[in-house]
Amino acid sequence: HIRPALPRDRHFAPLRVEVRQAVHLLKSAPAQRWTLDDLAAEVHLSPSRLSSVFVAAYGKTPLAYLTMLRAELLATYRSHRVDAPIFVNSRFHRFAGRS
């Protein structure tokens, strides 16, 4: 069970290479339809192990992190008053509820 905490109360673990790889994959393809199983296979960990080490490092699951990335991407487009490409809008809205 993941319990939210204030940033000052969080104690994050050092980043493992697999976590860094997962973050790189998510950042390089945020519109991809990622599943925990797919991401775990890419970094050679079981889904449960990836989730636990990711939460220890970032305080959220990989898919919650992906949702955050997508929201930041959309906010960046909006803050620059640039219409987001249609694929960004449609994929963000389609996947935001699943991540």
- How confident is the model over 42-98, as pLDDT tens digits? 999 999 999 999 998 888 999 999 999 998 888 776 665 655 555 555 555 554 444
Q: What is the pLDDT of residue 1?
A: 52
CB 62 within 8 A of CB 39: yes
Q: What is the pLDDT of residue 96?
A: 46
- Model confidence at 12, pLDDT cuts 50, 70, 90, reads low
CA dist., res. 58 & res. 11, Å (int): 9
Q: What pTM was computed for the model?
A: 0.69
Note the pLDDT of residue 13.
65
User: What CATH number does the domain located at 17-96 have?
Assistant: 1.10.10.60
Distance of alpha carbon 97 from alpha carbon 90, whole angstroms: 12
pLDDT of 25 above 90: yes
Residue-level pLDDT at 88:
53
pLDDT of residue 98: 47
